[in-house]
Every structure is written in C-alpha cells, then in structure tokens.
Amino acid sequence: MKLGMLTAALPMLSLEEIATWAGKTGYDALEVATWPSVGRQFYEAAHLPVETFGSREADKTWDLLARHDLSISALAYYENNLHPDPVRREVIRTHLKCVIDTASTLGVPYVGTFIGRDWTRTVAQNMADAEPAFRDIVDYAGERDVQITIENCPMEGWHPDGYPANLAYSPELWEWMFDLGLYLNWDPSHLVWQGIDPLTTIAPYAHRIVHAQAKDVEIRQDRLNRYGIFGKAARENPWDAGWWRYRVPGRGQIEWSPIVDALYEHGFTGTLSVEHEDPVWRGGEERIKTGLKIAETTLRPLLVL
C-alpha cells in the first residue's frame, strides 16, 4: 500500500512544486487533479494539461516523478456526469475523455470521477440515465487500459436542498454501479456521517476497491440534535450541513489503524490518498501543507514499508 495525496488541495501550485514538496514530506504517490485549464473555479486544480497532452508532456511528467521518487496513483476529475444542463453535461463528458486519454498515455491505471445527478429528477430516473452514459465511458476507458473509479461522496452541496447528488453514496448504489463496470474510490469519511460503519464495507466490496481516499470527519452531536441528519434548512453555504465537517486524518473521529489493517487483510495493494478538505487547516499554502503533514504523520506509521 502506498501513501498518496490528492493535489487538488494546492490549486495555487504547479505539479512540479507539489511533487518537490510531497517527495520531501514522505508521500509516495500523487492523485493528480485534472480539471480544465481554462474556466475552472477557484477551488479546482489543473495540474496536467490534459486537453493538449502528448508525448512531450508525458516525458516531462515521467522525469518529474522519477526525480522525486513518486508515482501517479490516479487522475482526478470529480464532476457531475449527469448534470441537468445537456450542454454542460457534454462539456464534462468531453473533458473526462481527455483525462482518460492522458491516463492512458502516462500508463496511469485509474481515473476518478463522480456519477453525479440531475437534481431535477428522481434517483431512479437518474440511474436509468446513467447506465448508457457510463457504459460508453467504461468502454472508452477500457479500450485504453484505464479503469473508472467513483468516489462515494454524496456531493449534497450540488442539490438545492442538500440531498445526495452523486449516486454512489451507499453500498446499495455501489452494487448497481459495479454492474456498469465501474470501480470504487473508497472514502470512509462520507460513510461515517451517514451512519454507516466504514469497516463493514471493506470485506464485501474489497474486489472493487482499487483506490482509497483518506479523509476524516468530525461530528457535533449537539448540532445534530438541532438540525437532524439532513442538516440546516437554510444554508448560506450549500456545503455546510451544520453538524459535521471534514478533517484531516488524525483530527477527526475515525480510527485509522483498524481501517488500514482491514484494507491489508482483504488484499488492498493500491494507494491510500489523502484528500485535504479540513477547514481548520485551510487559509493559504502553508496551512494546507501543515494539514497534509498532520495526515502523513498519522498514517505513515500504519503502513508496512
């Protein structure tokens, strides 16, 4: 098992700057963010020019990784592949194929994304829409020796009422998406705040967990008592449920030792990739790096060298 980090936490830095720092800090791998180079939001990162990626860019990337003793665990483009606007949906689909092409050129085995949701339609209607769309994407990726992984984040901030907007939030939906040829980028933090014990989800789905993310979560029971599991009724920030927040590993309530042990027990040999979304350790490059250092210090002793 390798210890990696998702580069999206540092959108202000280049891939070279991130690789230099990550190699010195003790990380083994990078899950590289590949949002579009033009027109992205401030929180999105474009650490590889996938729209124009060719052999020259591949050579530079391989050289960079070799100099810092790193690998790329996956390319990351977490977007809403079922967006209700058909024009926007096609833009996302086109870019996702560019990401797949780049992964193939680099020999990276996985591309991570979301299923998403058209929030104007029911879950059942979305599942019907998703099947032909994702079978096409899975076939496109398979022809290029790439597998598509889906993170199990509910993405509730995409829904106007804070309901799940990525149809991969529960084991029930994992079984459905596995039938489409998709794999799981397993993240325990999303399970904990939904009331699902993450340990119970490793053994039955280990054969489809090919990549994992390390993110912690902090739950405030007093606020849960007020707002309920669906969170605040009126939100200035659509991502603020009011009773829980993400933390870096070591600063939330997840016990990482039994999770890492269970991953080893059930044959996981991929990358455990730190996803830094901790509001305590945001607010500039140095604070973000401190959060990533906390995560590395927490997880490194648990991994077998």
Complete DSSP assignment for 220-249: -HHHHHHH-TT--SS-SSTT--SSEEEE-T
Percent of the chain with pLDDT over 70: 100
Per-residue pLDDT tens for 60-93?
999 999 999 999 999 999 999 999 999 999 999 9
Distances (CA, A) of 137 to 72, 121, 170, 207, 240: 21, 22, 22, 21, 32
> What pLDDT, on a 0 to 100 scale, did the predictor assign at position 68?
98
Sign of CA dihedral 168, 171, 177, 182: positive
User: Residue 31 carries which side chain, given as an amino acid letter?
Assistant: E
Per-residue pLDDT tens for 16-47?
999 999 999 999 999 999 999 887 777 789 99
Asked whether the predicted pLDDT for residue 170 surpasses 80, the reply is yes
Average pLDDT of the segment spanning 131-149: 98
> What pLDDT, on a 0 to 100 scale, did the predictor assign at position 255?
98
The listed CATH number (3.30.750.24, 3.20.20.370, 3.10.20.30, 3.20.20.150) that belongs to domain 2-302: 3.20.20.150
pLDDT band at 141 (very low <50, low <70, confident <90, very high): very high
Asked whether the predicted pLDDT for residue 116 surpasses 90, the reply is yes
